[in-house]
Amino acid sequence: MKLQISEVTVPGEAIAFHGSIDTTEWQAEPEGEALLDAPQIDGHYRRDGRYVYVDGELHVHGRTTCTRCLDDAECRQTLPFSEVYVKTATAAETDFDALPFDGSYIDLDALARDIVIMAAGAQVLCRDDCRGLCPGCGVNLNHESCQCVPEEVPPQWAALRELLTTKQ
Ligand SMILES: [Zn+2]
Ligand SMILES: [Zn+2]
């Protein structure tokens, strides 16, 4: 989505936008990760002289790997953003944290790609109560159980052991 910046805005007036992100220009996703729908973007922009302030949210629906059990995990993320663009960046403005644009269009597809890259590596679980992998044998405890003894001794066993030790 290319956001057309109107030349005739009232300074400071917020103009809303929303639309779908075109991901065809994005590089291949990391293995095991895939978008399930086109990301949606919504927000508003304000023009102030050569500067354009863009704020909003990116909505991403994708498939990735569960951090805890390594199974596929579907995730929906809402990623807020706030950017400043400047028409024709000059040397003086390179210190300033503004992105250049040509004065008429802002490339929201490229912005969305950067936002998604920044958000990569977030913890994602296949479900809230994912039981993860057994630290002893590595089985996925969501699908099967195993014979590994829990590291912590359950309280009733601890009491029994104490009883046996004192009787010796
Ligand atoms: Zn999981
Ligand atoms: Zn085990």
CA of 32 to the centre of ligand 1 (A): 14
Whether the pLDDT of residue 163 is over 80: the answer is no
CA of 124 to the centre of ligand 2 (A): 23
Percent of the chain with pLDDT over 70: 80
Predicted confidence (pLDDT) per residue in 18-45, tens digit: 999 998 888 766 556 788 899 999 999 9
CA of 125 to the centre of ligand 2 (A): 20
Query: Which amino acid is present at 142?
Result: N
Whether the pLDDT of residue 117 is over 80: the answer is yes
Predicted confidence (pLDDT) per residue in 97-107, tens digit: 788 888 889 99
- Region 78-95: mean pLDDT is 79
Percent of the chain with pLDDT over 90: 43
CA of 69 to the centre of ligand 2 (A): 13
Please list, residue by residue across 102-124, b when 16 or more beta carbons sit within 10 angstroms of its beta carbon and e when fewer do. eeeebbbbebbbebbeeeeeeeb
- Region 135-153: mean pLDDT is 85
Whether the pLDDT of residue 167 is over 80: the answer is no
**For residue 128, which ligand has an atom nearest its CA?**
1
**For residue 71, which ligand has an atom nearest its CA?**
1
pTM over 0.85: no
Whether the pLDDT of residue 95 is over 60: the answer is no
